Structure 1
Protein backbone atom coordinates (compact mmCIF):
# COMPACT_ATOMS: atom_id res chain seq x y z
CA UNK A 1 0.00 0.00 0.00
CA UNK A 2 1.08 3.55 -0.58
CA UNK A 3 1.77 6.04 2.20
CA UNK A 4 -1.41 7.90 1.23
CA UNK A 5 -3.45 4.70 1.55
CA UNK A 6 -1.99 4.00 4.98
CA UNK A 7 -2.69 7.58 6.07
CA UNK A 8 -6.22 7.31 4.70
CA UNK A 9 -6.80 4.09 6.64
CA UNK A 10 -5.47 5.73 9.80
CA UNK A 11 -7.84 8.69 9.37
CA UNK A 12 -10.77 6.35 8.65
CA UNK A 13 -10.00 4.10 11.64
CA UNK A 14 -9.49 6.94 14.10
CA UNK A 15 -12.43 9.00 12.83
CA UNK A 16 -15.04 6.25 12.65
CA UNK A 17 -13.93 4.55 15.86
CA UNK A 18 -13.70 7.83 17.77
CA UNK A 19 -17.19 8.80 16.68
CA UNK A 20 -18.54 5.34 17.55
CA UNK A 21 -17.16 5.77 21.07
CA UNK A 22 -19.50 8.75 21.55
CA UNK A 23 -22.38 6.28 21.22
CA UNK A 24 -20.79 3.46 23.20
CA UNK A 25 -19.40 5.26 26.25
CA UNK A 26 -22.84 6.28 27.59
CA UNK A 27 -23.91 2.64 27.26
CA UNK A 28 -20.76 1.51 29.10
CA UNK A 29 -21.53 3.96 31.93
CA UNK A 30 -25.10 2.67 32.05
CA UNK A 31 -23.79 -0.89 32.33
CA UNK A 32 -21.27 0.04 35.04
CA UNK A 33 -24.01 1.80 37.03
CA UNK A 34 -26.01 -1.42 37.05
CA UNK A 35 -28.79 -0.18 34.78
CA UNK A 36 -29.37 -3.12 32.43
CA UNK A 37 -32.45 -1.73 30.67
CA UNK A 38 -31.80 -1.88 26.95
CA UNK A 39 -33.53 -2.83 23.72
CA UNK A 40 -33.59 -6.51 22.82
CA UNK A 41 -33.90 -6.57 19.01
CA UNK A 42 -32.70 -10.14 18.47
CA UNK A 43 -34.20 -11.81 21.53
CA UNK A 44 -31.11 -12.42 23.66
CA UNK A 45 -32.37 -10.44 26.64
CA UNK A 46 -31.74 -6.81 27.49
CA UNK A 47 -28.67 -7.44 29.67
CA UNK A 48 -26.90 -9.59 27.07
CA UNK A 49 -27.86 -7.09 24.34
CA UNK A 50 -26.37 -4.23 26.37
CA UNK A 51 -23.14 -6.15 27.02
CA UNK A 52 -22.83 -7.05 23.33
CA UNK A 53 -23.42 -3.47 22.20
CA UNK A 54 -20.80 -2.21 24.67
CA UNK A 55 -18.34 -4.67 23.14
CA UNK A 56 -19.33 -3.51 19.63
CA UNK A 57 -19.35 0.23 20.40
CA UNK A 58 -16.53 0.58 22.96
CA UNK A 59 -14.09 -2.31 23.12
CA UNK A 60 -13.88 -3.04 19.40
CA UNK A 61 -13.63 0.63 18.33
CA UNK A 62 -10.71 1.10 20.77
CA UNK A 63 -8.95 -1.89 19.19
CA UNK A 64 -9.68 -0.57 15.70
CA UNK A 65 -8.59 2.96 16.60
CA UNK A 66 -5.13 1.81 17.67
CA UNK A 67 -4.96 -0.96 15.10
CA UNK A 68 -4.92 -4.16 17.16
CA UNK A 69 -6.58 -7.23 15.60
CA UNK A 70 -8.36 -4.74 13.36
CA UNK A 71 -10.06 -7.07 10.91
CA UNK A 72 -11.48 -9.30 13.64
CA UNK A 73 -12.46 -6.27 15.74
CA UNK A 74 -14.66 -4.93 12.94
CA UNK A 75 -16.99 -7.95 13.09
CA UNK A 76 -19.03 -6.94 16.21
CA UNK A 77 -19.57 -3.32 15.03
CA UNK A 78 -20.58 -4.60 11.59
CA UNK A 79 -23.16 -6.94 13.15
CA UNK A 80 -24.38 -4.24 15.56
CA UNK A 81 -24.81 -1.65 12.80
CA UNK A 82 -26.57 -4.16 10.53
CA UNK A 83 -29.00 -4.96 13.37
CA UNK A 84 -29.50 -1.23 14.04
CA UNK A 85 -30.07 -0.37 10.38
CA UNK A 86 -32.13 -3.34 9.24
CA UNK A 87 -33.95 -4.52 12.38
CA UNK A 88 -34.21 -1.63 14.84
CA UNK A 89 -34.70 1.02 12.13
CA UNK A 90 -35.79 -1.31 9.32
CA UNK A 91 -39.16 0.36 8.76
CA UNK A 92 -37.85 3.88 9.36
CA UNK A 93 -37.02 6.35 6.58
CA UNK A 94 -33.46 6.39 5.23
CA UNK A 95 -32.64 9.55 7.20
CA UNK A 96 -33.26 7.71 10.46
CA UNK A 97 -31.14 4.67 9.62
CA UNK A 98 -28.49 6.61 7.71
CA UNK A 99 -26.05 6.88 10.64
CA UNK A 100 -26.08 3.12 11.24
CA UNK A 101 -25.60 2.52 7.50
CA UNK A 102 -22.63 4.90 7.35
CA UNK A 103 -20.96 3.14 10.29
CA UNK A 104 -21.76 -0.22 8.69
CA UNK A 105 -20.13 0.74 5.39
CA UNK A 106 -17.09 2.25 7.13
CA UNK A 107 -16.48 -0.79 9.34
CA UNK A 108 -16.91 -3.12 6.37
CA UNK A 109 -14.29 -1.11 4.47
CA UNK A 110 -11.88 -1.21 7.42
CA UNK A 111 -12.50 -4.93 7.81
CA UNK A 112 -11.70 -5.58 4.16
CA UNK A 113 -8.62 -3.34 4.00
CA UNK A 114 -7.17 -3.92 7.45
CA UNK A 115 -5.40 -1.36 9.59
CA UNK A 116 -2.56 -0.40 7.26
CA UNK A 117 1.03 0.23 8.24
CA UNK A 118 0.21 3.00 10.70
CA UNK A 119 -1.15 0.64 13.34
CA UNK A 120 -0.05 -1.55 16.21
CA UNK A 121 -0.85 -4.59 14.04
CA UNK A 122 2.11 -3.64 11.82
CA UNK A 123 4.57 -2.71 14.59
Structure 2
Protein backbone atom coordinates (compact mmCIF):
# COMPACT_ATOMS: atom_id res chain seq x y z
CA UNK A 1 0.00 0.00 0.00
CA UNK A 2 1.19 3.50 -0.72
CA UNK A 3 1.86 6.05 1.99
CA UNK A 4 -0.97 8.23 0.62
CA UNK A 5 -3.39 5.36 1.31
CA UNK A 6 -2.31 5.21 4.94
CA UNK A 7 -2.48 9.01 5.28
CA UNK A 8 -6.00 8.88 3.79
CA UNK A 9 -7.10 6.22 6.29
CA UNK A 10 -5.55 8.26 9.12
CA UNK A 11 -7.44 11.38 8.01
CA UNK A 12 -10.68 9.42 7.74
CA UNK A 13 -10.23 8.08 11.29
CA UNK A 14 -9.20 11.42 12.80
CA UNK A 15 -11.78 13.61 11.06
CA UNK A 16 -14.89 11.48 11.45
CA UNK A 17 -14.05 10.33 14.97
CA UNK A 18 -13.17 13.89 15.99
CA UNK A 19 -16.46 15.16 14.59
CA UNK A 20 -18.34 12.35 16.32
CA UNK A 21 -16.90 13.55 19.62
CA UNK A 22 -18.70 16.87 19.11
CA UNK A 23 -21.95 14.90 19.36
CA UNK A 24 -20.86 12.51 22.10
CA UNK A 25 -19.20 14.90 24.56
CA UNK A 26 -22.41 16.91 25.20
CA UNK A 27 -24.19 13.61 25.90
CA UNK A 28 -21.37 12.64 28.28
CA UNK A 29 -21.78 15.99 30.05
CA UNK A 30 -25.53 15.37 30.37
CA UNK A 31 -24.80 11.95 31.86
CA UNK A 32 -22.28 13.35 34.35
CA UNK A 33 -24.65 16.18 35.36
CA UNK A 34 -27.56 13.79 35.84
CA UNK A 35 -29.61 15.03 32.87
CA UNK A 36 -30.77 11.57 31.89
CA UNK A 37 -33.63 12.44 29.53
CA UNK A 38 -32.82 10.66 26.28
CA UNK A 39 -34.79 8.82 23.57
CA UNK A 40 -35.44 5.17 24.40
CA UNK A 41 -36.36 3.52 21.08
CA UNK A 42 -35.91 -0.08 22.29
CA UNK A 43 -37.45 0.15 25.76
CA UNK A 44 -34.23 -0.51 27.71
CA UNK A 45 -34.48 2.75 29.63
CA UNK A 46 -33.36 6.30 28.92
CA UNK A 47 -30.33 6.08 31.21
CA UNK A 48 -29.13 2.80 29.71
CA UNK A 49 -29.62 4.14 26.19
CA UNK A 50 -27.70 7.32 27.07
CA UNK A 51 -24.81 5.31 28.57
CA UNK A 52 -24.61 3.08 25.49
CA UNK A 53 -24.72 6.12 23.22
CA UNK A 54 -21.90 7.79 25.17
CA UNK A 55 -19.79 4.65 24.78
CA UNK A 56 -20.50 4.60 21.04
CA UNK A 57 -19.99 8.34 20.48
CA UNK A 58 -17.08 9.03 22.88
CA UNK A 59 -15.17 5.90 23.91
CA UNK A 60 -15.22 4.14 20.52
CA UNK A 61 -14.21 7.25 18.53
CA UNK A 62 -11.30 7.84 20.93
CA UNK A 63 -10.14 4.27 20.33
CA UNK A 64 -10.50 4.79 16.57
CA UNK A 65 -8.49 8.04 16.74
CA UNK A 66 -5.53 6.26 18.32
CA UNK A 67 -6.05 3.24 16.10
CA UNK A 68 -6.64 0.67 18.82
CA UNK A 69 -8.86 -2.26 17.82
CA UNK A 70 -10.20 0.01 15.11
CA UNK A 71 -12.39 -2.47 13.23
CA UNK A 72 -13.99 -3.70 16.44
CA UNK A 73 -14.33 -0.16 17.85
CA UNK A 74 -16.17 1.00 14.73
CA UNK A 75 -18.98 -1.57 15.13
CA UNK A 76 -20.82 0.09 18.07
CA UNK A 77 -20.65 3.47 16.32
CA UNK A 78 -22.01 1.91 13.12
CA UNK A 79 -24.92 0.45 15.09
CA UNK A 80 -25.62 3.78 16.80
CA UNK A 81 -25.64 5.67 13.51
CA UNK A 82 -27.88 3.02 11.98
CA UNK A 83 -30.33 3.47 14.85
CA UNK A 84 -30.14 7.26 14.50
CA UNK A 85 -30.77 7.14 10.74
CA UNK A 86 -33.34 4.35 10.50
CA UNK A 87 -35.11 4.35 13.88
CA UNK A 88 -34.88 7.82 15.42
CA UNK A 89 -35.10 9.61 12.05
CA UNK A 90 -36.76 6.74 10.18
CA UNK A 91 -39.83 8.70 9.13
CA UNK A 92 -37.95 11.93 8.49
CA UNK A 93 -36.89 13.20 5.07
CA UNK A 94 -33.39 12.38 3.83
CA UNK A 95 -32.09 15.83 4.78
CA UNK A 96 -32.84 15.09 8.45
CA UNK A 97 -31.08 11.70 8.48
CA UNK A 98 -28.24 12.67 6.15
CA UNK A 99 -25.68 13.37 8.91
CA UNK A 100 -26.28 10.02 10.59
CA UNK A 101 -25.94 8.28 7.20
CA UNK A 102 -22.65 10.07 6.47
CA UNK A 103 -21.25 8.93 9.80
CA UNK A 104 -22.63 5.43 9.21
CA UNK A 105 -20.89 5.08 5.85
CA UNK A 106 -17.64 6.61 7.13
CA UNK A 107 -17.47 4.18 10.05
CA UNK A 108 -18.38 1.24 7.80
CA UNK A 109 -15.43 2.27 5.61
CA UNK A 110 -13.18 2.45 8.68
CA UNK A 111 -14.37 -1.00 9.80
CA UNK A 112 -13.63 -2.45 6.36
CA UNK A 113 -10.21 -0.83 5.89
CA UNK A 114 -8.85 -0.99 9.42
CA UNK A 115 -6.57 1.57 11.01
CA UNK A 116 -3.71 1.62 8.52
CA UNK A 117 -0.07 1.80 9.51
CA UNK A 118 -0.38 5.04 11.53
CA UNK A 119 -2.05 3.41 14.53
CA UNK A 120 -1.43 1.82 17.91
CA UNK A 121 -2.34 -1.57 16.45
CA UNK A 122 0.52 -1.35 13.94
CA UNK A 123 3.18 -0.43 16.50
Q: Report the TM-score range of the alignment, normalised by the length of the smaller protein.
A: over 0.9
Q: Quote the residue 1:4 is aligned against.
A: 4
Distance in 1 separating the partners of 2:98 and 2:23: 15
Task: Please give the secondary structure, in 2, of the residue aligned with 1:5.
Answer: helix
Distance in 2 separating the partners of 1:10 and 1:94: 29
After superposition, the CA RMSD in angstroms is 0.6
Q: CA deviation at 1:2?
A: 1.6
Unaligned runs of 5+ in 1: none
Q: Quote the residue 1:84 is aligned against.
A: 84
TM-score for both structures, normalised by structure 1:
0.98
- How many residues are treated as equivalent by the alignment? 123
Q: CA deviation at 1:80?
A: 0.2
Q: CA deviation at 1:96?
A: 0.3
Q: CA deviation at 1:55?
A: 0.3
Q: Quote the residue 1:103 is aligned against.
A: 103
Cα displacement string for residues 51-87 of structure 1 (whole angstroms, at most 9, x for unaligned residues): 0000000000000011011010001100000000000
Q: Quote the residue 1:16 is aligned against.
A: 16
Q: Quote the residue 2:26 is aligned against.
A: 26
Q: CA deviation at 1:41?
A: 1.2
Q: Quote the residue 1:47 is aligned against.
A: 47
TM-score for both structures, normalised by structure 2:
0.98
Unaligned runs of 5+ in 2: none
